A and B are shown apart, each in its own frame.
Chain A
Amino acid sequence: GENVEQHPSTLSVQEGDSAVIKCTYSDSASNYFPWYKQELGKRPQLIIDIRSNVGEKKDQRIAVTLNKTAKHFSLHITETQPEDSAVYFCAAIPSGSARQLTFGSGTQLTVLP
């Protein structure tokens, strides 16, 4: 099955700096890679996703890049703000399945004022 590894597990940045979270996956045929944000005590919410036919996708201060050859994808947050503090999860859908989603273990991002 699919294995998704996420790094780092914790990340602290100064407000205004950029944050980068990286995930690697094992199944080279995986084709969909969403990122979820979970604020303290809240439910996960999708913030951005990317499909395997695209190398990069941006949405305001958030971007995701995908390197299929190296089997990794990354979340980039620019001009970080205190409200970006949360746990971020990457995920991947294994090949041959549009039904199961494998999550990374999460990154606790803290934006320091």
Chain B
Amino acid sequence: EAQVTQNPRYLITVTGKKLTVTCSQNMNHEYMSWYRQDPGLGLRQIYYSMNVEVTDKGDVPEGYKVSRKEKRNFPLILESPSPNQTSLYFCASSPTGLGDTQYFGPGTRLTVL
């Protein structure tokens, strides 16, 4: 089944404790992206990747890192999480770029205490 998966789905952590949210797609898509969703703000893009070893900042990259060592994986890293990073995070992928349909993962609900 073609899909985008994220893990974990739910995470409660404390300020300053490094964490990684994994994202994987099995559709051989070139483009992958991370978004955060906050009430009243819609979806805001954090980072995106056009292909392996090619990543770039979105609208709200502060406090986040990403890597794209393999085509299928695009992990989101929070080196020192803070409470303002409490949010719902979505990973998405599309075949070549944003002019294609984006397929979203199921989301990761992160709470930073």
Question: When the two chains form their complex, are residues A43 and B106 in contact, meaning their CB atoms are under 8 A apart?
Answer: yes
Question: When the two chains form their complex, are residues B42 and A103 in contact, meaning their CB atoms are under 8 A apart?
Answer: yes
B104 at the A/B interface (Cβ < 8 Å)? yes
Question: When the two chains form their complex, are residues B43 and A103 in contact, meaning their CB atoms are under 8 A apart?
Answer: yes
A112 at the A/B interface (Cβ < 8 Å)? no
* Residue in contact with A100 in the complex, picked from B59, B105, B107, CB distance below 8 Å: B59
Cα-based distance from A101 to B90 in the complex (angstroms) = 14
Contacts of B86 in A (CB 8 A): none
Q: How many residues of A are in contact with the other chain, CB < 8 A?
A: 25
**Closest CB pairs A-B (n = 4):** A43-B104, A103-B42, A103-B43, A105-B42
What DSSP secondary structure best describes chain A's contact surface? loop
Map CB proximity to B onto A1-32 as digits: 1 under 8 Å, 0 otherwise: 10000100100000000000000000000001
B67 at the A/B interface (Cβ < 8 Å)? no
A95 at the A/B interface (Cβ < 8 Å)? no
Q: Nearest chain-B residue to A105 (Cβ)?
A: B42
- Please list 6 pairs of residues, one from A and one from B, whose beta carbons are closer than 8 Å in the complex, sorted by A's number: A32-B98, A34-B102, A43-B90, A89-B42, A103-B44, A104-B42
Map CB proximity to A onto B34-58 as digits: 1 under 8 Å, 0 otherwise: 0100001111110010100000101
From 76 to 109 in chain B, residues with beta carbon under 8 angstroms from any chain A beta carbon are 90, 97-99, 101-102, 104-107
A67 at the A/B interface (Cβ < 8 Å)? no
Map CB proximity to A onto B18-34 as digits: 1 under 8 Å, 0 otherwise: 00000000000001010
Contacts of B41 in A (CB 8 A): 105
Contacts of A49 in B (CB 8 A): 101
Question: When the two chains form their complex, are residues B104 and A101 in contact, meaning their CB atoms are under 8 A apart?
Answer: no
Q: Nearest chain-B residue to A97 (Cβ)?
A: B98
Question: When the two chains form their complex, are residues A43 and B97 in contact, meaning their CB atoms are under 8 A apart?
Answer: no
